[in-house]
Amino acid sequence: MSAIPTIAEAARLIADKKLSPVELTQDCLGRIAKNDSSLNAFLMLTEERALADAKAAEARHMAGTARGPLDGIPIAHKDIYNTAGIRTTAHSKLLEDNVPTKDAVTVTKLAAAGTAMLGKLSTHEFAMGGPSFDLPWPPARNPWNPAHFTAGSSSGTGAAIAAGFILGGTGSDTGGSIRGPAALCGIAGIKPTYGLCSRTGVLPLSFTMDHTGPMAWTVEDCALLLQAMAGHDPSDPGSANRPVPDFSADLSKGAKGLRIGVVRHFFETDHPVSPATQKGIDDALDVYKQLGAEVRDVTLSPMAEYHAAGSIILTSEAYAVHEPWLKTRFNDYGELFRDRIALGGFITAAALFQAIRRRRILTLEVTAAMADLDILVSASQPGEAPKIDEVPKWGNLEKPSLTMPFNLTGFPAMSVCTGFGVGGLPVCMQLIAKPFAEPTLFRAGHAYEAATAWRQMRPAMAG
Amino acid sequence: MITEEAFEVLAAQTGLPLSAEQKATLRAVYPTLREMMDLVSRPLPREAEPGHIFVPEVR
């Protein structure tokens, strides 16, 4: 076992009374005290709350009333998740003093599972604009090399998990904001099916594209966190009213018999990836073949079509959310978010509706392509993390996003680390499953992680 | 590239308090947005419905 346990490992040790939730939380707080000044992963640390949560969890374990595998596990929330009595800022001057009176539904669910809440995590401003250097707090940095970008927008969650500050955390994903930082920080992160996890109490960016979900060191840990987060929420109009399956049920089934389709043109021609990312995907496909999966290529429409429809819908919806502030407090936003969202004012109503019409056509296309497949494979980032001060303002538009197709279509998708590039930073692949087939997605991701050694490697600072 | 005059009209329609510098930034990237709007606006079958249907039931 590495020095920093996974959630699954910690849960077993706690259940066996070989690890104290209080000591586990203190270990995390110690790493935060030692290293977060160079990473800026936390916007607010709630040390007293974390230790109180951990002590309560420990008491339950000692009394035989433990709530399950998350009882006593240190986590934190992206700072767009409302937390009652605890500042929730979206990393923005506009909400600098915002203190919600109520938890987000998913925050309540994770607390009810017994987690110890360590605080609020950096995000790109309002889950879109970053990395920004003109906000009240600095941007999060990559634990593998703090001179480099984390991706976003769940930047603090990605950095904090990779650095061992927390064992898991929450993210949100509107165009790739869970899968991007999971990829560049070398962890696992899942954007579940649209509607699987409540969005109530999470600051909106784009109503029809926003997804909430977990991030953690391993796929198995994401399954444990999602178990607590998922479920119907009548207060969320997009929430799916269906039973929640056991997300860990298929983890031990391996990859034998899985039917895998590779959307090769997405990452070879539509948005070519780095040689290391390409090699990571090719090697992963070899692993799957060796494990008994069937692998073949599939072709979808050019990724630019998914990207255009997704970007137009996202930017329009975000503009609608922010229009009152854009007209009255325009210069209180950071430059990146402000300029990216301002573009929404230039989108015509006809173009928006054509994008929404195309959304149905593209969703049906992916559904048809997966009729006889269990999993799709693509990339989720084009390469290793760039330097944090070399991220272009319009990088979100210059090339089609590798993650956007699955926000547009709502299919569940996950980033899984496939190794390291020439700069020593992580590279990754993206796995996609059919709607509400998260158990299959976790099965595929876990089979790959179990067959490779990447989960044994932590950033040097995590020691 | 959209002309400065044509972009001024679009910018005025947004109602946003844009400075000259902000307008220049947005004007430079506007062709990319225009390409995306054109891409999604290629002809579709008349019966192609939008993706944001809702279920007409009280929950």
Using an 8 Å Cβ cutoff, are A163 and A443 in contact?
A: no
Query: What is the average per-residue pLDDT within A328-339?
Result: 96
What does the block give as tokens for A341? 């969202």
Phi-psi group of A434: left, alpha or beta (phi > 0 → left; psi -120 to 50 → alpha; rest → beta): beta
Query: What is the average per-residue pLDDT within A133-139?
Result: 98
Reported confidence tier of residue A1, pLDDT bands at 50, 70, 90 = very low
Q: What pTM value is reported for the model?
A: 0.97
- Going by the DSSP 8-state scheme, the letter that residue A107 receives in this structure is H
Query: What is the average per-residue pLDDT within A22-40?
Result: 98
State pLDDT tens for residues A396-451: 899 999 999 999 999 999 999 999 999 999 999 999 999 999 999 999 999 999 99
Query: What is the average per-residue pLDDT within A194-222?
Result: 98
Tell me whether A324 touches chain B (CB under 8 Å).
no
The more confidently predicted of residues B54 and A37 is: A37
State pLDDT tens for residues A141-199: 999 999 999 999 999 999 999 999 999 999 999 999 999 999 999 999 999 999 999 99
* pLDDT at B54 (0 to 100): 62
* pLDDT at A122 (0 to 100): 98
Reported confidence tier of residue B56, pLDDT bands at 50, 70, 90 = low
* pLDDT at B57 (0 to 100): 60
Residue A291 has pLDDT above 50, yes or no: yes
Query: What is the average per-residue pLDDT within A238-258?
Result: 97
Query: What is the average per-residue pLDDT within A208-235?
Result: 98
What residues have CB less than 8 Å from A330, skipping those under 6 apart?
A338, B16, B17, B18
* Number of helices and strands in chain A (H, E): 15, 11
Q: What is the Cα–Cα distance from A29 to A161, expressed in whole angstroms?
A: 13
Residue A42 has pLDDT above 70, yes or no: yes
State pLDDT tens for residues A43-53: 999 999 999 99
Reported confidence tier of residue A368, pLDDT bands at 50, 70, 90 = very high
Among residues A78, A40, A165, A121, the alpha carbon closest in space to that of A459 is found at A165
- Say if the Cβ atoms of B36 and A361 lie within 8 Å: no
Using an 8 Å Cβ cutoff, are A280 and A419 in contact?
A: yes
Residue A384 has pLDDT above 80, yes or no: yes
- Say if the Cβ atoms of A342 and B16 lie within 8 Å: yes
* pLDDT at B58 (0 to 100): 55
For an interface test with B, the pick among A333, A354, A393, A398 (most B C-beta atoms closer than 10 Å) comes out as A354
Q: What is the Cα–Cα distance from B11 to A336, expressed in whole angstroms?
A: 18
**Percent of chain B surpassing pLDDT 90:** 73
Q: What is the complex's ipTM, to 2 decimals?
A: 0.94
Q: Which residues of A are catalytic?
A: 78, 153, 177
Reported confidence tier of residue B52, pLDDT bands at 50, 70, 90 = confident
- Say if the Cβ atoms of B16 and A234 lie within 8 Å: no
Query: Could you tell me whether strands A375-378 and A259-262 are parallel, antiparallel, or unpaired per DSSP bridges?
Result: parallel
Q: What is the Cα–Cα distance from A264 to A259, expressed in whole angstroms?
A: 15
What does the block give as tokens for A447? 């089979």
- Say if the Cβ atoms of A346 and B29 lie within 8 Å: no
Reported confidence tier of residue A463, pLDDT bands at 50, 70, 90 = confident
**Which residue from A305, A339, A359 is facing B26, i.e. has the nearest CB?**
A339
Query: Could you tell me whether strands A188-191 and A211-216 are parallel, antiparallel, or unpaired per DSSP bridges?
Result: antiparallel
- Say if the Cβ atoms of A346 and B52 lie within 8 Å: no
What does the block give as tokens for A454? 């990447």
**Which residue from B13, B25, B52 is facing A339, i.e. has the nearest CB?**
B25
Interface of B with A in 29-48 (CB under 8 A): 29-30, 32-33, 35-37, 39-41, 44, 48
State pLDDT tens for residues A56-112: 999 999 999 999 999 999 999 999 999 999 999 999 999 999 999 999 999 999 999
Mean of all residue pLDDT scores within chain A: 97
* pLDDT at A389 (0 to 100): 97
Beta bridge partners of A117: A75
What type of residue is A90? A
**Which residue from A234, A305, A347 is facing B37, i.e. has the nearest CB?**
A347
